[in-house]
Structures are given as C-alpha cells and as structure tokens.
C-alpha cells in the first residue's frame, strides 16, 4: 500500500499530467516537404556545423527515445523520419497535439520558415490559436516599402514612427501579444529616453547598409531602442503583453546582453509602470536574475519554454527550481516553444509536465508548499496564469476546472498576493468597449438616478478566441435595475456597432467628421484612411469657403487615418463608434498641418530632449440655449448668478447625464457649477496632452449630443451673455518626470515662487510668448470684449485676475500652471501645441520669469507692465511674428492658421452684436 507521501506525490503528478495546457509561446508548423532538417526539432542549434554535434547531446538522446516510444519505432533519426513521412502530416499532428493536450496556443509567426503553415491550419488540432506579433517584423515590413518613388532615402524618423505605430495600432486587436527579439540585434540594455536625433541617425545607417535587392534589417541600437520604446508604449496603452526574448539562442546572439537585468531602465520608467512584460525562455542561464525581477516588478512575468525540453533532465529541474526560488507562482507560465514540427510541441508539453511534477513534489517535501498549494500551483503554471494574463476567453470555456475557488483563494493569500480570483458574475448595466484598453479606457459602475443615464464601460478582461478586426466586436448591454431605469432583458440582443465616425478638428475649431459603415472601416479605412480635400482644414468658420491668400484650394487630397487607440462607442448612439484621426498626405506619411500630429510631435520633443511629459486638464465653459428659429436673440436655459444652486437645479438631469457619459470615456469630472449668465462649467482632470485634447473634443461632442437630446443647443463661445465672466474656459498644465510632478519645488533656495528650476524656465517661456499663444487659445473677438481697458501681461501665484497663474498643493508647492483663457471653441491641439512650443523655448533658452503680481495693478505700476493683445487681430499679429512658435509648430502651419483666424475676425468686424453672437453660437 502506498504511503501518504506517495499518495500526495501521485496527486500532484496526476494534476500535472491532466491539466489542459495553454501554450503561451510557440511558432508555426511547416509542411512535410519543407527543406527544414528534422534534426532541428531535437535541438535549438541552427548552424550546419553545430547541428553535427547535436546527436551527442543529452537532450537529443532523450528526445529520440521519447519519440521512438510514442511512434513505436526504433529510436534513431532515420527510423523516425521514415515513419513520420509514411504517416503524413495530419496523422503526425493528431498524435502529437493529442498527446500534448494543448487547449490554446500563442503563435509567433515572425519566425519565417520554408513551407510554413498558416494560423487556420493549426486550428484543426488546437481549439484556441492566437497570434503574437513580432515588432521587428513589423518595422522591417514598414521600411521595405519605400516612402515614395524617391526610394528608401526619403524615410525620416517621423514618417517611420507614424507608419510603424499606426500599423501596430491597426493590428493590436488581432493579436494577444507583441514580441521583441531585440536581444538578438542590439541587446536588452534599452534606453527608454533615446534621443530622436540618435534614432534617426541609426535609421539612416540601417538604410545605407542594406544591400540593393535585399530586404532591410534593423540593427542599429539607437534605432532599435526607439522602435522598442514606441512599441511598448502602444502595448501598454492597449494593455497588450510584450514578450521579450531573453537568455540563450542562436550563436549570433551576444549572451551577456541578453541578461534581463539590462531591462531595469525600462522597468523603472513610469510610462511603463503598467506594462505587462514576459521574459521568454526562462532567461537561461539567467534564471535567478529573471526570478528576482519577477519578484520586485509587478510588470514582469516569466515563460520557461525552450529551457524545457532543450536541457538535460537535471538542467531543466534546476532551471525551473531557480525560477520559483523568488518569483510568485502566479507569474510563471508554461510554453512549449514548439516550432516547425508537431513533435516539438509534444516534447515541450511532456517534459514540462514531468519537470513541474518533480519541482512541485520537492517543494511539497521541503515544506515550501502544502499539498493543496502544490496542486493549485500546477493549475496556475500550466493553464490559468496564461489564460488570465493573455485574456484568452475562448480557451477558458473548454477547460475543466478541478480546483475550487476556495483553494485558489488560500493559494492567493499564501503565495501570490497579486492573483485575482474569478468570482460568480453579477448582473449590472455596462457598456463594453469594442476596443480593449483604448486611449480613453473604461471602468466605473452605474449609480442610482431617476434619469436614464449612460454607464461607464468596464475594461474588458478577456479577449475572444478569434478576435475580429477593430470595432467589429459587438457592444453588449448587460442588465441591472437601478432606480427607475428600465431594465433590459438578460438575453437582450447585443448592440453591434454599424458605423464609425472619423473625427477631426479644423483650423477654426469646428468639429468635423466623416461616417463610414463598419465593414468598410475594417476592410479599407483602417489601412488606407478616407480621402478628403486638403482645403477642408482651412475653410472659414462662417461659410465653407477658402479664406483669402490661402495656399490651399480644391486641388489636392489628404487622408484621415484612424487612431485606433482612441475608438469609443457613443452611448447616445450605441450603433456608432467614434475614432480620432491623424491627417496624412498618404497612408504612413503625416501631413505637416495635422493638428494631432503637431501636438504629438512637440510632446515627443519635450520627452526626448528634456525627459518631461506635459499633462493638461480643463475648465470647459458652455451655454445651454433653447432652440429657436428665425431670431437672432439667444434664449438661455438659465441666467442665474455665479455658483447658483437654482441654476444647477434647472440643468441637474442634463449635467448628471453628461457626467455619466464622460465617465464611460474615462474622462474624470472633478467639478461642475453654474458660472452665471446662462453658462455652465465642467472641470475635467489632467491627462497626457494628446489624450487631454481628445478629451476636450469628447466633452464638446457629448455636451452637444445630450443637449440636443433634451431639445436644447450647446455653445462653447465665450461671453454670449452680458453677465458672463471672461476666462470660464481654462487650461491647467503640469510637468512630469518619472512618476513625479517636477513643476514645483519645496526648496526655496532654488526658486522662491514654489517652482522648480525646470518649472521656472517652462513658465518663463509660456509667459514670454503669451501674446502669441492667445491667438490660438482665444480665437474670437468675444474672448476679449468683456474687459474694458487694457489687458495686462503679468502672472500671479494666487491672483484670480492674472492671465497666467500657478496653483499650489497643500504643501505650498506649485502643482500646475493655469492659463485663464483656453476657449473651448478653438482647436485644442493647436492651443496645447502653442503652450508646449513656448515652454520648450523657455527650457532651451532659459527664459527669465519676472516677479509675480498678486495684487491689483496700481495706477503708478501700469506704465511698467506690458499689455496683452486687446483684439483678436493683435493676437494674430503676435502669433505671426513669433519665431519660436513658427520654428516649433511649423512656419507654414502658423501662416495658414493665421489666415483663417484673420478671415473669421474680418467677417464679423462690421456685424452687429446680436448677429455675431447668434452666428457664432450656431457654429461653436
């Protein structure tokens, strides 16, 4: 009779043997007539001279015996080859995959091989087949398509970046992970702050070195660092894991540079604090280093494929034991690293089960694990960790769970603090986003309210087994009864997205869009965009006509290219999705006048040159107007005083609905109030500048949509009512380095105004260029009309009358800068770009910041204080003469935008006040 210990060991062994596997990293199988030598499946060696020594390795001898036993033939290579050829690939595959019991596999098809079979072929033998996208393959595919007939020499870092990122974005919904083999090319010592100039030099070096007629291969370290960082940014934004080759490989790999400890600069960067990184191959021979990283960095997980089965039995056992020395159990994942031959999948699966059994039994014997914990660890490592980490919903349904929730909870408490336990679902209203982890991500719940309100979508926790093209995923409505909200039946039919709105903002600040059916969006627009006459960006706001002296006319086309990371479903029209667009000359080549590209480029300059990130938040002022026809008199919903409770009562249901919709876009509403004179203000939290500008556009679109639903009109034009105050729409900005706001300083010796040295220079640039900035942030004459007399050019620390002031935290440290005029009727991308351009100029030139003024400007001081533009024309003149803004934003762009603003101002100059306000309220 077996002892208790033997019975416990047998329970662990049976668990390891029977758990269906999630193979988290492998490659495609090849056809039987491929020229790939079968010897490859028994070794990781690639060269002819090294393959000759494979038959003398321990792993080779063991694998021959295993395959001979499986096929029932002599354990030698010739017998095995003859037998598998007689069986045919289908029979071989059925035997190998059936014996492996793999329920789900993730295939990196970036390893190209002769006669490689597609994803569909693998689904005949494995229920769940998912794609892993190799970023180097994408980069080289991009570079091997010349920019134009001018050839490869036309590539710039910017044009590569946009085409590379847009390609990753377009494929992000079709894959479950990205992968990098940068360890093979330049090593893992990646610089997250690589300079753009160095990266561009590296790009051109790679282009020069490629031989005519041969494909371009990326090899320059600076360029690879840039490429990796950009790909990881996309992966992090979309909540997609990044698999990284670490440790041993072919002989062209510099092993010392494949040590995962070199990744610490990436892991320490706050931009990647929420990234999800997988160290492949157990980092052999750096298992202990990998285990350490997984124990101290929440981003790091480990996949031990290739270590098993390519080492000796002792080597495999020691390697897996080393990984478990420090790494939490919920961070270790199985993979076969199978490739080319079905036998590699079988051997990887068989020996992973065997070695894990040995290691877990040893841990149980040593008292590291209880029996229940050892059994739980087997489920986690072989199955559940990868299911949850890669969000593989399709495979989950086919898995028989034999481990109770209670035991997993106990295992969580004792071994894996970060492990989340699946609990029974609860029913509640929620709108599931069509795009996992968009730039405006999801995540709150519905609150009880008598007004039907749109709820915040939850972040999808799983990906479907076969992910369709972006936006194809239906939006499901799941019920919960809240207050008097009508419940939806549990089996309500999912609401499918049928149309996509491609949103852009023109030079006047008008929101414009094109609508395409979802099928055309998926099949054509994602890759090729939508054509548009380039003059559309520079039409007058009062009529769709070209402005005088513009370089643009009806000749010439641009492309609206969707930024898939921004896609959201519209709660007020759930069959429609909205996506922001970048404007390209042709797909992959950004247009120099594109507002989003201009802002993104300057944001990248700030980061690359100064290791800084600017964030922005807004106070958004708007009026709610009653709809009227044939009258120039505006009828306001309410004209109560500042912060009036009565004013809020009138619009409470509308404001509550706006709040719910904005929450569904993950736009954090910090405050709402009645400004007075019929105006309302919504304050939204800070976000990285491009997302912040997108957020402001979404706020405007949401307010207009909800107002229309209630038979009202919304207008973002300032000072429509005589009692309105100037500056109800404002912008707050801050500077970040790593996870620290570096705008302020607690050290009075560095800056007596509570600013850091960096913050002082940045504010100095903004202050110096404020007259030019106002042309873009206060683009209408109404922005200036409510102030009688001169507008003074000064800044303050707490002075509410200052056009520019600092805001402080409770510790009296400057936390943000506030520009009093950032009218929501303008183009937010150009406005924020102007602030960035000025701040960058301040950092570069160390522009001096004068003393603040925190009192009323006395009569005797007025002569010493400069004045700001008093008319929109004066602001435009300051913009045109600003060399810094021209140099940083683009001289041609500034010229064209100034022409539009001039034309708009000239049109209304001789119009009466009632006509002007009514017309502008209709436009904006």
Q: What is the pLDDT of residue 726?
A: 52
Q: What is the pLDDT of residue 727?
A: 53
Retrieve residue 754's tokens. 């509570």
- Give per-residue pLDDT as tens, 101-136: 999 999 998 888 888 888 888 888 998 899 999 999
Q: What is the pLDDT of residue 33?
A: 83
Does the pLDDT of residue 486 top 70, yes or no?
no
- Look at phi and psi of residue 310 and say left if phi exceeds 0, alpha if psi is from -120 to 50, else beta: alpha
Confidence of residue 152 (pLDDT cuts 50, 70, 90): low
Q: What is the pLDDT of residue 624?
A: 85
E-state strands within 221-327? 242-245, 277-280, 300-303, 305-306
- Give per-residue pLDDT as tens, 804-832: 999 887 677 888 999 988 988 889 999 99
Region 52-79: mean pLDDT is: 80
Q: What is the pLDDT of residue 859?
A: 56
Confidence of residue 789 (pLDDT cuts 50, 70, 90): low
Q: What is the pLDDT of residue 858?
A: 61
Gap between the Cα atoms of 356 and 21, Å rounded: 13
Cβ pair 875, 791 in contact under 8 A: no
Backbone angles phi, psi at 456, to 5 degrees: -75, 125
Does the pLDDT of residue 265 top 60, yes or no?
yes
- Give the SS3 label for residue 854: coil
Cβ pair 455, 664 in contact under 8 A: yes
Q: What is the pLDDT of residue 61?
A: 83
Q: What residues contact 520, with CB distance under 8 A and at least 6 apart?
A: none
Region 6-23: mean pLDDT is: 93
Lowest mean pLDDT among 206-210, 381-385, 400-404: 400-404
Lowest mean pLDDT among 399-408, 477-486, 683-692: 477-486
Q: What is the pLDDT of residue 72?
A: 85
Gap between the Cα atoms of 579 and 598, Å rounded: 18
Cβ pair 211, 129 in contact under 8 A: no
The chain-wide mean pLDDT, for the chain, equals: 80
Q: Is the peptide bond before 668 cis (omega within 30 degrees of 0)?
A: no
Does the pLDDT of residue 788 top 60, yes or no?
no
Retrieve residue 726's tokens. 């100037």
Region 260-268: mean pLDDT is: 94
User: How would DSSP label each residue in 138-173?
Assistant: HHHHHHTS-SSTT-GGG--HHHHHHHHHHHHHHHGG
Pairing of strands 613-626, 679-688: antiparallel
Angle, helices 89-100 vs 58-71, to 10°: value is 110
The pTM of this model reads: 0.59
Q: What is the pLDDT of residue 787?
A: 59
Q: What residues contact 32, with CB distance under 8 A and at least 6 apart?
A: 84, 85, 88, 89, 92
Confidence of residue 457 (pLDDT cuts 50, 70, 90): very low
Cβ pair 572, 587 in contact under 8 A: no
**Of 422, 390, 400, 393, which is closest to residue 409 (Cα–Cα)?**
422
Q: Which domains does the chain have, with CATH numbers?
A: 4-32+88-414 (3.20.20.140), 425-591 (3.10.20.70), 598-923 (3.30.590.10)
- Give per-residue pLDDT as tens, 637-692: 676 767 677 677 777 888 888 998 998 888 989 998 887 767 889 999 999 999 99
**Of 558, 554, 553, which is closest to residue 588 (Cα–Cα)?**
558
Percentage of the chain beyond pLDDT 90 is 39
E-state strands within 636-739? 669-676, 679-688, 712-715, 730-737
Q: Which residues face 280 on adjacent strands?
A: 245
Q: What is the pLDDT of residue 862?
A: 61
CA distances from 818 to 385, 743, 778 (A): 46, 12, 14
Exposure on the CB side of residue 265, measured as CA atoms within 13 A: 11
Does the pLDDT of residue 721 top 60, yes or no?
yes
Q: What is the pLDDT of residue 493?
A: 45
Confidence of residue 172 (pLDDT cuts 50, 70, 90): confident
**Of 97, 171, 169, 184, which is closest to residue 130 (Cα–Cα)?**
171
Gap between the Cα atoms of 4 and 2, Å rounded: 7
Q: What is the pLDDT of residue 28?
A: 92
Cβ pair 465, 394 in contact under 8 A: yes
Does the pLDDT of residue 873 top 70, yes or no?
yes
Gap between the Cα atoms of 97 and 382, Å rounded: 16
């Amino acid at each position: 009779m077996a002892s208790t210990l033997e019975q416990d060991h047998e329970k662990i062994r049976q668990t390891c043997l029977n758990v269906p596997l999630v193979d988290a990293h492998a490659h495609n199988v090849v056809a039987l007539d491929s020229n790939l030598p079968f010897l490859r499946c028994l070794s990781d060696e690639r060269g002819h001279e090294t393959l000759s020594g494979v038959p003398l390795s321990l792993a080779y001898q063991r694998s021959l015996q295993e395959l001979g036993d499986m096929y029932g033939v002599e354990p030698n290579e010739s017998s095995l080859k003859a037998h598998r050829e007689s069986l045919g690939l289908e029979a071989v595959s059925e035997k190998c995959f059936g014996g492996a019991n793999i329920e789900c596999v993730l295939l990196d098809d970036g390893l190209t091989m002769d006669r490689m079979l597609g994803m569909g072929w693998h689904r005949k033998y494995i229920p769940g087949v998912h794609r892993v996208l190799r970023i180097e393959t994408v980069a080289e595919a991009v570079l091997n398509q010349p920019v134009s007939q001018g050839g490869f020499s036309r590539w710039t870092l910017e044009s590569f970046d946009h085409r590379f990122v847009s390609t990753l974005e377009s494929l992000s919904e079709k894959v479950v992970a990205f992968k990098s083999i940068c360890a093979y090319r330049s090593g893992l010592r990646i610089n997250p702050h690589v300079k753009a100039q160095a990266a561009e030099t590296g790009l051109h070096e790679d282009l020069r070195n490629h031989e005519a007629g041969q494909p371009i291969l990326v090899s320059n370290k600076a360029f690879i660092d840039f490429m990796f960082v950009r790909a990881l940014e996309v992966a992090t934004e979309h909540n997609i894991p990044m698999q990284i080759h670490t440790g041993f490989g072919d002989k062209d790999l510099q092993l010392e540079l494949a040590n995962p400890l070199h990744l610490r600069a990436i892991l320490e960067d706050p931009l990647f604090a929420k990234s999800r990184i997988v160290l492949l191959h157990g980092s052999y021979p750096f298992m202990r280093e990998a285990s350490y990283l997984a124990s101290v960095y929440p981003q790091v997980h480990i996949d031990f494929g290739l270590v098993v089965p390519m080492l000796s039995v002792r080597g495999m056992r020691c390697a897996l034991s080393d990984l478990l020395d420090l790494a939490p159990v919920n961070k270790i994942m199985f993979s076969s690293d199978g490739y080319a031959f079905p036998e590699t999948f079988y051997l990887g699966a068989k020996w992973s089960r065997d070695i894990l059994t040995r290691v877990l039994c040893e841990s149980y014997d040593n008292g590291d694990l209880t029996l229940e914990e050892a059994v739980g660890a087997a489920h986690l490592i072989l199955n559940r960790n990868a299911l949850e980490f890669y969000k593989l919903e399709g495979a989950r349904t086919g898995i028989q769970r034999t481990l109770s929730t209670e035991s997993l909870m106990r295992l969580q408490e004792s071994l894996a603090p970060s492990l989340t336990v699946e609990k029974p679902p609860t029913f509640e209203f929620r709108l599931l986003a069509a795009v996992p982890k968009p730039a405006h991500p999801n995540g709150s719940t519905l609150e009880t309210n008598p007004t039907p309100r749109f709820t915040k979508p939850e972040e999808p926790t799983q990906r479907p087994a076969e992910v369709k093209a972006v936006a194809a995923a239906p939006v499901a409505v799941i019920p919960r009864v809240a207050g008097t909200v009508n419940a939806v039946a549990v089996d309500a039919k999912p609401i499918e997205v049928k149309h996509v709105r491609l949103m852009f903002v023109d030079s006047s600040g008008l929101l414009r869009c094109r609508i395409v059916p979802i099928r055309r969006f998926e099949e054509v627009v994602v890759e090729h965009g939508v054509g548009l006459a380039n003059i559309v960006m520079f039409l007058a706001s009062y009529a769709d006509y070209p402005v005088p002296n513009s370089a643009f006319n009806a000749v010439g086309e641009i492309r609206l290219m969707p930024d898939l990371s921004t896609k959201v479903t519209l709660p007020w029209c759930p069959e429609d999705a909205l996506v922001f667009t970048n404007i390209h000359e042709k797909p992959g080549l950004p247009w120099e006048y594109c507002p989003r590209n201009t802002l993104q480029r300057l944001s990248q300059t700030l980061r690359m040159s100064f290791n800084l990130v600017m964030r922005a938040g807004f106070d958004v002022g708007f009026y709610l107007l009653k709809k009227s026809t044939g009258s120039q008199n505006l009828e306001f919903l309410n004209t109560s005083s500042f912060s009036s409770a009565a004013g809020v009562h009138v619009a409470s249901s509308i404001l509550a609905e706006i709040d719910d919709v904005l929450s569904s876009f993950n736009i954090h509403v910090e405050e709402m109030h009645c400004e007075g004179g019929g105006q309302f203000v919504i304050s939204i939290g800070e976000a990285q500048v491009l997302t912040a500008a997108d957020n402001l556009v979404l706020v405007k679109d949401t307010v207009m949509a909800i107002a229309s639903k209630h038979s009202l009109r919304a207008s973002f034009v300032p000072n429509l009512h005589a009692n309105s105050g100037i500056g109800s729409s404002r912008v707050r900005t801050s500077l970040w380095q790593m996870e620290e706001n570096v705008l302020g300083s607690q050290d009075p010796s560095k800056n007596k105004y509570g600013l850091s040295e960096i913050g002082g220079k940045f504010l100095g640039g903004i202050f110096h260029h404020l007259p030019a900035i106002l042309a873009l942030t206060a683009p209408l004459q109404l922005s200036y009309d409510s102030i009688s007399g001169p507008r003074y050019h000064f800044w303050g620390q707490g002075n509410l009358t200052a056009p520019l002031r600092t805001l402080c935290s409770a510790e009296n440290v400057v936390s943000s800068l506030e520009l009093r005029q950032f009218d929501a009727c303008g183009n937010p991308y150009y406005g924020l770009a102007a602030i960035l351009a000025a701040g960058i100029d301040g950092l570069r030139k160390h522009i001096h910041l004068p003393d603040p003024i925190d009192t009323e400007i006395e009569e005797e001081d007025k002569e010493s204080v400069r004045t700001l533009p008093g008319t929109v024309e004066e602001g435009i003149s300051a913009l045109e003469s600003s060399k810094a803004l021209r140099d940083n934003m683009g001289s041609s762009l500034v010229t064209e935008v100034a022409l539009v603003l001039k034309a708009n101002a000239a049109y209304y100059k001789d119009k009466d006040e009632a006509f002007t306000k009514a017309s502008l309220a209709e436009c904006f």
